[in-house]
Structure 1
């Protein structure tokens, strides 16, 4: 009986944690990644229970043939999550929690809904609905958004009425999809609430695409580039509060500094890496539409105004010769727990998934990649790394990015152990 109560309490806390603030921040924290790992470890013990009117919004697949609209894949989800969270009767899974879970499931590069992912995501998140869709080619200057809703308890996909409209009015297309979803969930809206939901995040397509590009960069740990995109979004629409909040979040968490954001002090930016199939965002297309490291001005708006029958030239990125950097969590000089724990090494670029972590005291560890930007070192009580009182130095050897650039210094991180720290305090 006690185990049943404990399990139900745990599941309730998991759900509350992932839906508490559906539009809190855009940075995926280590706490969220730990939460996602915990959810996956409980997957086999989860029953078919779902939370009524709880919904997870997956990313939309860009099938329009317009590479410059790739940021809209996450953007449609961002807009829908923001609006659905305003409806009191709906509980929405926070986007960063969903992204952390998708990363752990090795689906983070796409996050697209299909017949396999929707049931599993719905089960893991205790959601009764999962939604997502496709961005399709309409007429020469139109888009069509095709969406569907997966009812988790019924194990059933229901296609929604497609939403078609002008490319430069994507905010209107999102509203059509939004109200189709709410109707499917059979939730009645008051005239006041409907009027509130009809207000767009921004009427500037240029600002929205810059915002969405920034969010994707943030998910991949490229925080300075994310900040550049948020700044560009604010140039296009100074009242875009989500971009303001996202930029403040990066500054407040110390992920970017004022010096880095200052063009005078920052100097030339390192070249963008060549886009890879699993990037989730084509950096080449961002350069093409003016969302690169330089100030954009009206470049994006001009690109969106072009007829689709005109040739679209994507410039080739210069060779990437910038060494990747790495940060450690916990930070260097932290006292490690000998009874078990881990260190996560986060890289500034997509890595070639090679390399090895070496310990100065030859302690026994487990190690491996989590995606292509995070490398984990962990240990347990029966494989303690604290086999003497000396400081523990972890050296990263052989790590290089996808452009074959070796890791920049520092590549070694020194820690103390709680056992040695406690003994020294006693002495």
Structure 2
């Protein structure tokens, strides 16, 4: 009995995936639930584990291959049908095959150390030529051959810099794009080319929220076991603003407009693999502590490449916080098929006129990029003003006004 290793079910929004990394090699022993291969989609990395302990009999798709849902990629021989005789026979057959390969078209029988050396470099005895040393294959002949081969390989690389990871001057590095990075690039171009994107700005006085966080920081941690961050205020204010302006929570589908009666907010998270946008579901039903806990969990999963498909699908509106990297202002790009995205930026002290006097206040720019085909200036400006009101007077979030 052979167990087939298949690509996991991919959702309808994910058409294909890529073999990212094989953690096991052919004929290698695998324990049950041990990860065999990583499969990368345009949204997340899926780990495929062994359903049973056994030996990996064959790998059918190499790293970098494009695969599809339920496609056969490897075969596993379970441990319960592997006995000592099978193992001994396999080792004998492998040894005989190696010997036959190495001495093919050559009557010479080599000692084990030379066989291992030739096998390591994928060589045959009849490939080793040395005009000055005639006779049997020796270590000196092999070393001489490898030295000449490495020199030739080095010369070839210097002539073909474009095909190598590093050029000889080490002035640039060439690496293939990941499937995630390719998808990000395509979607950014799609958003730019297929939407009438426009960005509007406003600024927010963050003094009240900063004071509120300082005042209740310790009590919040004691009560909920998580820090009170800025993001919960942003999410709460976005939900209330979306309720006032349903066009911003809508999307275009062909010649129709789809209005969403729920509030699933995507949170942009930067990882070593690229930007991902895990989704907070039903944000209108979440408390401040619920939001902080869920964001912390999703951020941790994103950094460890543990996000699942269900963590990433959906989302009607996106919040991206460039302020964590020091961005003072930006024009974020819409995340299709969504119609708008809110950019949050660095909080910075600036002199502001208040009642005819100059005060230094912690100010933050906010930016709303939106699809002008669906959202007009009145809705976009009103949306940002609502965000501004709620953040400058956070008590409104508690009183729902």
TM-score range with shorter-chain normalisation?
under 0.3
Q: Which has the larger radius of gyration?
A: 2
Choose between structure 1 and 2: higher strand proportion.
2
Q: Which one has more relative contact order, counting CA pairs under 8 Å at least 6 apart? A: 2
TM-score of the aligned structures, taking structure 2 as reference length = 0.24
TM-score of the aligned structures, taking structure 1 as reference length = 0.23
